[in-house]
């Protein structure tokens, strides 16, 4: 899986589970000829309910794995891992281009008309210094309601088997935001875009949902262009747009394959790896 002399640079992407596929979808649209390797750390999920040291250790291990496979750029497609581990990743690999995912507090504060913003995320993300810094830097003129959506990411991953749980959790968390009269809601976990329609239905048409996948993909594409310009094997922009996506999981592969097929229309076989 490592990069050959004449192949374009590989982009590595990881998340604690399948949520990062929402970022891979946006990234593939921005870099259609780039080979993408996605790691779902399903064997050690969910990150949002684990301590920081666990998330840092897993993030560093997966980073080393992606580098061993030839990754020239890594996207941390997980809000919890970005908040807990991206600085440790930068310290260990100072020359490696890294792109993280953060709750879109800044655009939400700019877009909100009544200056009341809800942020749906994991407990770990909302308790992190990184999240507090986002609020302090970009939303001091807003009421920001953090909603820790315990159990939601895990339930989303289980699909139909946990649909009743997803429904109950969305009812609970959306009710909190409706009572607070927020007009803008940040989807602060990469799993949540997969149920964005259900969230929007509960909150109503006057509430705007913000997903940062597009912004993350744009930043990654900008860095990738810089890498690719130095790579003699880069495919030109007018080359055939062939999808090169490899999916691997540290746990069972069934959920990863199902979400890729049902949510993205990608009929791909995932590999199980030990990391």
Q: Is 47 annotated as a binding residue?
A: yes
Tokens of 129: 């210094």
User: Angle 21-30/254-264 helices, nearest 10 degrees?
Assistant: 50
Q: Is 173 annotated as a binding residue?
A: no
Q: Is 191 annotated as a binding residue?
A: yes
Query: Angle at the Cα of 47 (from 25 to 87), degrees rounded to 5?
Result: 80
Query: Angle at the Cα of 175 (from 17 to 15), degrees rounded to 5?
Result: 10
Tokens of 137: 């830097």
Q: Is 48 annotated as a binding residue?
A: yes
d(CA 109, CA 111): 6
Are the C-beta atoms of residues 120 and 147 closer than 8 Å to each other? yes
- Catalytically active residues are 78, 189
Q: Is 54 annotated as a binding residue?
A: no
d(CA 11, CA 24): 10
As annotated, the binding site includes: 15-16, 47-48, 79-80, 190-191
As annotated, the binding site for substrate includes: 15-16, 47-48, 79-80, 190-191
């Amino acid at each position: 899986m490592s990069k050959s002399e004449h192949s374009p640079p590989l982009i590595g992407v990881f998340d604690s589970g399948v949520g990062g596929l929402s970022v891979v979808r946006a990234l593939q649209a921005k870099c259609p000829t780039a080979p993408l390797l996605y790691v779902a750390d399903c064997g050690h999920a969910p990150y949002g309910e684990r301590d920081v040291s666990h998330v840092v250790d897993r993030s560093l291990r997966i980073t080393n794995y992606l580098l061993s496979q030839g990754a020239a750029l890594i996207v941390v497609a997980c809000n919890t891992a970005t908040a807990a581990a991206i600085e440790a990743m930068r310290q260990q690999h100072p020359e490696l281009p890294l792109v993280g995912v953060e709750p879109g507090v800044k655009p939400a504060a700019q877009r909100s008309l009544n200056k009341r913003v809800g942020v749906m995320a994991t407990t770990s993300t909302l308790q992190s210094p990184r999240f507090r810094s986002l609020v302090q830097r970009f939303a001091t003129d807003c009421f920001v309601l953090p909603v820790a959506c315990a159990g939601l990411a895990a339930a989303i991953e289980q699909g139909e088997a946990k649909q009743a749980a997803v429904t109950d959790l969305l009812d609970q968390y959306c009710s909190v935001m409706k009572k607070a009269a927020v007009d803008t809601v940040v989807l602060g976990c990469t799993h949540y875009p997969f149920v964005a329609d259900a969230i929007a239905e509960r909150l109503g048409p006057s509430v705007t949902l913000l997903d940062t996948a597009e912004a993350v993909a744009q930043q990654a594409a900008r860095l990738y262009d810089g890498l690719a310009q130095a790579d003699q094997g880069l495919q030109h922009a007018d080359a055939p747009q062939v999808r090169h996506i490899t999916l691997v999981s540290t746990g069972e592969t069934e959920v990863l394959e199902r979400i890729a097929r049902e949510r993205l229309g990608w009929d791909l076989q995932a590999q199980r790896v030990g990391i």
